[in-house]
Structure 1
Amino acid sequence: MAVTHASSASSAMPAATAAPKPPQLRAARIRRQNIIKTVVLTLTMLFLFAPLLAMFLFTVRHPLSGRWSLDAWRAIFTGDGSSLGADLTVLWQGLGSSLGLCVVTVALMLALMVPTMVIVHIRSRRLERAIEWVATLPLTIPAIVLVVGLGPIYRWLSADVLSTKPIWLCFAYVILVMPFAFRALAVGLNSIDVKTLVEASRSLGASWPRVFLRVLIPNLWQSILSASFISIAVVLGEYTVASLLGRMNLQVALYQLGQSNSQISTAMSLLALVFGVILLVALDLISAAMRRSKEQ
């Protein structure tokens, strides 16, 4: 009898210790966590936006006279930098080249990576790991080393096959964006049951192109958008390859423009950064909208 009472008392002790905390203690803990999150988020935002604020102040305040004006921004939006002694032709040329490179690079990247990753994901997981290693290899190779290898190839392409136009940098940029695109697409492929979707579609008589375009692509839209937006951000910010290969893009144009007017160059750099932030916010909004549509 005593043993029974002792065992019941010992079994009741964990239940007593595991009893939920009072609401006041839980509320206090939640308040402390919210305060810590707010402090960390505030410090992070200050760390990220302080340089951007400094860039903006540099564009509106003349360093020698201390006079405040929006001449640099006015020159960008009107396309006339003659009042500041700057020729904006090189800026528009570089911007046009970078935008064209964004379109071509994203198209080549998607045409190369999406079918390859889908086929390998279905057929062989071992080969998928090998492709992952190859795709992430550019992260470990500095851009200047890539240029050393790409230089002779581009010299041959420019002289015998293509031309020296900046648009042909797309081949080098596809290599640069592969690690980021691979990771974004891999997340999408691992989040759905690709084999089941393919087998069900094929058993119903769908052809491979129809399976790819009507079944798999709609389920990978979020990953495709992520890979595209990240690739655009990388292309817009790339300088080393274009500069060493002697091609014109936005970053090279900003560097050249900075030699004559650093305020306009800084203002355009700030606009490029803001555009990258807009892309990331748009990606988040699109992803949230797609999740809501799937839940409904």
Structure 2
Amino acid sequence: MNETSATAANAAVVAKTGATGSTGSAGTGTTGTVGTKPPQLRAARIRKQSVIKFVILFITLAFLFVPLFSMLIFTLRHPLSGRWSAAPWIAIFTGNGESLGADLTVLWQGIGTSLALCVVTVVIMLLLMVPTMVIVHIRSKALERAIEWVATLPLTIPAIVLVVGLGPIYRWLSADVLSTNPIWLCFAYVILVMPFAFRAIAVGLNSIDVKTLVEASRSLGASWPKVFFRVIIPNLWQSILSASFISIAVVLGEYTVASLLGRMNLQVALYQLGQSNSQISTAMSLLALLFGVVLLVALDLISDAMRKSKES
């Protein structure tokens, strides 16, 4: 009798345990089903995110392109008569603005000066910044932070304050050492582009292990010039191009320093041209902006090509 009672009790316990396990399994399955969202809700959330992204992109593009589109309309529609004409653009591409009462010789002079300033400024900037930053990056981190502080300092100083300090220096250089040629603005422009060039080159230096490359090259018997030109520079080409293109964009858009120092460049020429014909000046400003966009696109394409060549 006792054995029969014990067997029955064990059977009851097993049955209860099985029922509990079944209930737990069912509960787990139900929880997993509830935790998974239906396809309709996921599709609705994706559509909502797409709408939000489209609205943000549309507002951003409108903020950027509506002023440019207004400038384009201004160059094609005469502000007084309302007559539509492409005469300002024709005058720019033909080089003859006499019919519109504008002397384009000032414009060509400003363009030539700015392009020459771009070349000279980029060359001086690269000769000054690249060797200095590479040497300091290898030798001393503390000195690298000091150079970073000095290089980014022009960002905190307004251009008009720089002119106040550079004015006496340029007056002395023009009278006793150099001349009044606008090409000597390159020294002031190197200071203006230094923060942007420093940041671009610093990104390239931090993306590669310069010390390991230098030590490996030196251990194989390479001289310092070979290490610099054949090992470090090829790995910094993308950063050097970025610094160069940013410097060109800054030089092409600079007005304050050249105007207050009495020198001619593209922006000063556009201002003077705007006194006689504002439509031609605005059209040329649009072309300068388009040139800047082309530089950025070219930088992106060159960077992609260099990256793919390294991967292959």
TM-score relative to the length of structure 2: 0.88
Q: 1:133 to 1:33 in 2, by over 3 A?
A: same
Q: 1:192 to 1:25 in 2, by over 3 A?
A: farther
Equivalent residue, structure 2, for 1:239? 255
Q: How does 1:17-32 map to 2 (within 5 A)?
A: 25-32=41-48
Displacement of 1:31:
3.6
Equivalent residue, structure 2, for 1:147? 163
Equivalent residue, structure 2, for 1:72? 88
Equivalent residue, structure 1, for 2:100? 84
Equivalent residue, structure 2, for 1:204? 220
- Write out per-residue CA displacement over residues 124-172 of structure 1, whole angstroms, 9 at most, x where no aligned residue: 1111111110000000000000000000100111011110000000000
Equivalent residue, structure 1, for 2:4? none
Displacement of 1:203:
0.6
- Write out per-residue CA displacement over residues 55-96 of structure 1, whole angstroms, 9 at most, x where no aligned residue: 010001111111000000000000000010110000000000
Please say if 1:158 is aligned against 2:156.
Answer: no
Instruction: Give the whole-Å Cα distance in 1 for the aligned partners of 2:118 and 2:36.
Output: 55
Aligned amino acid, residue 45 of structure 1: L
Instruction: Give the whole-Å Cα distance in 1 for the aligned partners of 2:212 and 2:36.
Output: 43
Equivalent position to 1:97, from 113, 116, 122: 113
Q: How does 1:1-296 map to 2 (within 5 A)?
A: 25-296=41-312
Instruction: Give the whole-Å Cα distance in 2 for the aligned partners of 1:201 and 1:31.
Output: 55
Aligned amino acid, residue 288 of structure 2: A
Aligned amino acid, residue 97 of structure 1: T
Aligned amino acid, residue 122 of structure 2: V
- Write out per-residue CA displacement over residues 234-268 of structure 1, whole angstroms, 9 at most, x where no aligned residue: 00000000000000000000000000000000000
Q: Aligned with 1:196: secondary structure?
A: helix
Instruction: Give the whole-Å Cα distance in 1 for the aligned partners of 2:51 and 2:308.
Output: 30
Instruction: Give the whole-Å Cα distance in 1 for the aligned partners of 2:54 and 2:224.
Output: 50
Aligned amino acid, residue 223 of structure 1: S
Instruction: Give the whole-Å Cα distance in 1 for the aligned partners of 2:101 and 2:303.
Output: 44
Which segments of 5 or more consecutive residues in structure 2 lack a partner in the other structure?
A: 1-16
Aligned amino acid, residue 128 of structure 2: L
Which segments of 5 or more consecutive residues in structure 1 lack a partner in the other structure?
A: none
Instruction: Give the whole-Å Cα distance in 2 for the aligned partners of 1:271 and 1:191.
Output: 35
Displacement of 1:29:
3.8
Q: Aligned with 1:211: secondary structure?
A: helix
Q: 1:28 to 1:185 in 2, by over 3 A?
A: farther
Displacement of 1:25:
5.0
Displacement of 1:196:
0.6
CA RMSD of superposed structures (Å): 2.1
Displacement of 1:284:
1.2
Instruction: Give the whole-Å Cα distance in 2 for the aligned partners of 1:202 and 1:29.
Output: 58
Displacement of 1:293:
1.8
Displacement of 1:291:
1.7
Q: Using the aligned pairs only, state the percent identity.
A: 83
TM-score relative to the length of structure 1: 0.92
Q: Aligned with 2:276: secondary structure?
A: coil
Instruction: Give the whole-Å Cα distance in 2 for the aligned partners of 1:288 and 1:72.
Output: 37
Q: 1:108 to 1:206 in 2, by over 3 A?
A: same
Aligned amino acid, residue 250 of structure 1: L
